[in-house]
């Protein structure tokens, strides 16, 4: 199956593109149009369709093309933003609410698997979080206390499932793992079997406000009473572009020489942290490990992230081979919680779900429940907590300023120095550069065949300068995470258009 990068994830391997039951756009007014065929869009569509809403899911590429095809599929009820931080920023009652929402989300995944008989290698697991220094010990104690108060089943543990030296560890019960694209295809089929319409290759290019929204797509005009953006950050320019920052994480599926594959899920406490688990796919066991996260467009040589991760892991594991290496993108919210609900600055019938941090699988199903309750019952008990319009001037305020300042810097000038046009002759096959020529910036990519592709490096969202991601062979925008392939074709929103092509004479 296709994905938004040049690397191949474990979840794409031996999985063909999903074939929709519908290939044309029926001319009806939909109750809900969902933009984006990742795990958020499809799980939300399934719940809404089953609740009696007539839904259309429009995916610009193929389902699972984005982060769902590049996740490492950890299902957790403890989050990247730990309960100690959530309690501090939002109060202990709300930390309990987050824990309940996460437990219900994992419960919903289990229910979907049972109800629709989805074979996706799901298994319940324990999750270990461990410290490796004095400062981390203290932090771990705080996380333990706050997680207990929030309602997690957590205990101290004298062991961890990894051959890694540690000082203290806690064990969370009731975590899980699965094969992300097998699950996605299972719920997509359930959605279509329930009467939902799933259109792939359907990019939304414009939305005209109204009680009934008039939506332009490259497959025709769509009318819908409500719209949900399940595309990470939404298109246009709104407050969420300043409250979420795009990050990339690096993962690998590893064959071990000694068959000592760790049981359960495990996480260290570095920033960025490393994460581990084992998965059997097609009869083969793999250790899946990840880390080396960074803000999108802020590392010049992204291949080095794989090199660093591999060298770190070789210090602990007897690695035989690494059949799969891949990276994927997620959005970090400034105050630690996702944004799910009405999209500020838009009519009351436009919604969004984004800002999941590294907990996308769990929060996708939190979003499915919250949005379904809002659209079907008129409200959700989580609506206020996850509201995209929430104002938390203290929580995340420093991050807010930092992210905003960062965007401004990218608008003014590029992150990396631009070489001169003459250097073009030295470009190797597969290499890319932003060059300045006669006062104009040009993004150049020389493909494997030696053909040079030239595009305007101004991102078509709001003109930040894109940077080359050599691991995924894409032009990545450091501001809000839009991504384009070497030829400028759009891979990832919030941009809606390809990069402008430049003719080279």
Q: In the window 131-150, what residues touch ligand FES (CB under 6 A)? A: none
Beta carbon of residue 436, minimum distance to ligand FES (angstroms, whole number): 20
CA distances 300 to 27, 312, 383, 433, Å, are: 47, 20, 39, 11
* Pairing of the two strands 29-35 and 55-59: parallel
Only one of the segments 32-40, 61-69, 437-445, 478-486 lies at the binding site for ligand FES (rule: CB under 6 A); that segment is 478-486
Beta carbon of residue 402, minimum distance to ligand FES (angstroms, whole number): 16
Q: Is 36 exposed, middle or buried (0-12, 13-18, 19+ CB in 10 A)?
A: buried
Residue 499 interacts with ligand FES (CB under 6 A)?
A: no
Among 37, 274, 480, 490, binds ligand FES (CB under 6 A): 480
Residue 240 interacts with ligand FES (CB under 6 A)?
A: no
Residue 491 interacts with ligand FES (CB under 6 A)?
A: no
Among 42, 47, 479, 490, binds ligand FES (CB under 6 A): 479
Beta carbon of residue 38, minimum distance to ligand FES (angstroms, whole number): 18
Beta strands in 268-318 (DSSP E): 275-281, 284-295
Beta carbon of residue 18, minimum distance to ligand FES (angstroms, whole number): 27
Residue-wise burial string across 447-461, b where 16 or more C-beta atoms lie within 10 A, e elsewhere: eeeeeebbbbbbbbb
Contact between residue 139 and residue 269 where contact means Cβ atoms under 8 Å apart: yes
Residue 245 interacts with ligand FES (CB under 6 A)?
A: no
Beta carbon of residue 242, minimum distance to ligand FES (angstroms, whole number): 11
Only one of the segments 99-107, 284-292, 437-445, 472-480 lies at the binding site for ligand FES (rule: CB under 6 A); that segment is 472-480
SS3 of 3, please?
coil
How big is the CA angle at 131 (ends 130 and 135), to the nearest 5 degrees? Answer: 155
User: Site size for ligand FES, by CB under 6 A?
Assistant: 11
Q: Which residues pair with 32 in a beta bridge?
A: 55, 226
Q: In the window 448-467, what residues touch ligand FES (CB under 6 A)? A: 459, 461-462, 464
Residue bearing tokens 């996605």: 184
Helix 39-50 and helix 360-377, axial crossing angle in degrees, nearest 10:
30
Query: Which is closer to ligand FES, CB of 399 or CB of 447?
Result: 399
CB atoms under 10 Å from CB of 260, counted, come to: 13
Query: Which is closer to ligand FES, CB of 445 or CB of 475?
Result: 475
Beta carbon of residue 482, minimum distance to ligand FES (angstroms, whole number): 4
User: What is the Cα gyration radius of the chain?
Assistant: 22
Query: Which is closer to ligand FES, CB of 109 or CB of 459?
Result: 459
- Residue 273 carries which DSSP code? P
Query: Which is closer to ligand FES, CB of 240 or CB of 385?
Result: 240
CB atoms under 10 Å from CB of 92, counted, come to: 14
Beta carbon of residue 424, minimum distance to ligand FES (angstroms, whole number): 24
Beta carbon of residue 477, minimum distance to ligand FES (angstroms, whole number): 3
Beta strands in 356-451 (DSSP E): 432-437, 440-446
Beta carbon of residue 459, minimum distance to ligand FES (angstroms, whole number): 3
Residue 494 interacts with ligand FES (CB under 6 A)?
A: yes
Residues that bind ligand FES (CB under 6 A): 459, 461-462, 464, 477, 479-482, 494-495
């Amino acid at each position: 199956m296709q994905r938004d990068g040049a690397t191949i994830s474990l979840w794409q391997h031996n999985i063909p593109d999903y074939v929709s039951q519908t290939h044309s756009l029926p001319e009806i007014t939909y109750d809900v149009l969902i933009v984006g065929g990742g795990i958020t869009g499809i799980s939300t569509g399934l719940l809404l369709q089953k609740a009696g809403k007539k839904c259309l899911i429009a995916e610009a590429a193929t389902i699972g093309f984005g982060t769902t095809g590049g996740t490492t599929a950890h299902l957790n009820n403890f989050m990247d933003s730990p309960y100690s931080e959530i309690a501090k920023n939002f109060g202990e009652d709300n930390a309990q609410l987050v824990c309940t929402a996460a437990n219900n989300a994992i419960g919903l995944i289990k229910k979907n698997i049972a109800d629709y008989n989805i074979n996706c290698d799901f298994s319940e697991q324990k999750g270990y979080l461990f410290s490796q220094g004095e400062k981390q010990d203290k932090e771990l104690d705080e996380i333990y206390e706050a997680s207990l108060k929030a309602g997690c089943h957590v205990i101290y543990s004298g062991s961890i499932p990894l051959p890694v030296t540690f000082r203290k560890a806690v064990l969370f019960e009731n975590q899980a793992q699965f094969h992300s694209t097998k699950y996605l295809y299972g719920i997509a089929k359930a959605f279509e079997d329930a009467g939902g319409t799933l259109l792939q290759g359907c990019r939304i290019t414009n939305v005209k406000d109204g009680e009934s929204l008039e939506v332009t797509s490259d497959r025709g005009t769509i009318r819908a009473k409500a719209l949900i953006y399940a595309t990470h950050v939404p298109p246009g320019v709104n407050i969420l572009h300043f409250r979420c920052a795009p990050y990339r994480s690096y993962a690998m599926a590893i064959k071990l020489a000694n068959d000592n594959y760790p049981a359960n899920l495990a996480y260290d406490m570095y920033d960025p942290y490393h994460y581990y688990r084992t998965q059997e796919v097609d009869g083969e066991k793999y250790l899946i490990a990840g880390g080396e996260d960074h803000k999108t467009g802020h590392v010049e040589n992204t291949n080095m992230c794989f090199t660093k991760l591999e060298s770190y892991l070789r210090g602990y594991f007897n690695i035989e081979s690494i059949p799969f290496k891949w990276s994927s993108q997620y959005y970090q919210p400034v105050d630690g919680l996702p944004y799910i609900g009405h999209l500020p600055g838009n009519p009351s019938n436009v919604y969004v779900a984004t800002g999941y941090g590294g907990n996308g699988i769990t929060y996708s199903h939190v979003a499915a429940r919250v949005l379904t309750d809002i659209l079907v019952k008129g409200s959700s008990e989580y609506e206020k907590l996850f509201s995209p319009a929430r104002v938390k001037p203290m929580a995340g305020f420093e991050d807010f300023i930092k992210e905003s300042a960062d965007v401004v810097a990218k608008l003014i000038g590029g992150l990396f120095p631009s070489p001169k046009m003459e250097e073009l002759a030295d470009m190797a096959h597969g290499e890319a550069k932003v060059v300045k020529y006669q006062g104009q910036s040009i993004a150049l990519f020389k493909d494997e065949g030696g053909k040079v592709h030239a595009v305007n490096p101004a991102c078509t969202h709001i003109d930040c300068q894109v940077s080359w991601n050599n691991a995924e062979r894409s032009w990545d925008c450091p501001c809000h995470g839009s991504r384009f392939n070497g030829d400028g074709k759009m891979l990832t929103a919030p941009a809606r258009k390809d990069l402008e092509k430049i003719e080279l004479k």
